[in-house]
């Protein structure tokens, strides 16, 4: 499940992943929010919080994540991924370079630091 993170600045779009994240979550929650923000702004600062309640992605979610990321490749001004999940941290390090904007990884205990970095 994806939940929108409230209380962020207007130029920051954030989501918290809980349980298993599915392709349906991307199609109903994340993708429409990204599209709506891109109607108002040319760039996005993005927070993705995969905390203690996160359990994984289904295959469709992985595909939708890649698709939305690449479809709007020049729109990602800053991306903060907050997680302690090792394989996600490694994947962000391995593939973060393809995003023209800045990508940073934070631990779960650094959520406030990630939000601050996105707000600067």
Tell me, what CATH number does 85's domain have? 3.30.750.24
Q: What is the mean pLDDT of each run of 10 residues along the chain (120 residues)?
A: 96 97 97 96 97 96 91 93 96 84 96 97
Residue-level pLDDT at 20: 98
**Cα 64–chain centre separation:** 12
pLDDT digits (tens, 9 = 90+) for 15-46: 999 999 999 999 999 999 999 999 999 999 99
How many domains is the chain partitioned into structurally? 1
Residue-level pLDDT at 100: 80
- 3-state secondary structure string across 51-106: EEEEEEECHHHHHHHHHHHHHCHHHEEEEEEEECCHHHHHHHHHHHHHCCCEEEEE
Identify the domain containing residue 109 by its residue range: 2-119
Burial zone of 97 (CB within 10 Å; 0-12 exposed, 13-18 middle, 19+ buried):
exposed
């Amino acid at each position: 499940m994806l939940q929108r993170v409230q209380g962020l600045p207007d130029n920051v779009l954030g989501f918290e992943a809980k349980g298993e994240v599915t392709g349906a979550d991307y199609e109903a929650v994340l993708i429409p929010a990204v599209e709506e923000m891109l109607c108002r702004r040319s760039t996005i600062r993005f927070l993705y919080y995969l905390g203690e309640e996160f359990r994984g992605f289904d295959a469709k979610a992985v595909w939708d994540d890649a698709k939305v990321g690449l479809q709007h490749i020049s729109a990602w001004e800053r991306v903060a991924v907050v997680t302690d999940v090792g394989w996600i941290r490694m994947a962000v390090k391995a593939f973060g370079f393809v995003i023209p904007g800045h990508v940073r990884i934070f631990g779960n205990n650094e959520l406030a630091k990630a939000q601050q970095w996105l707000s600067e």
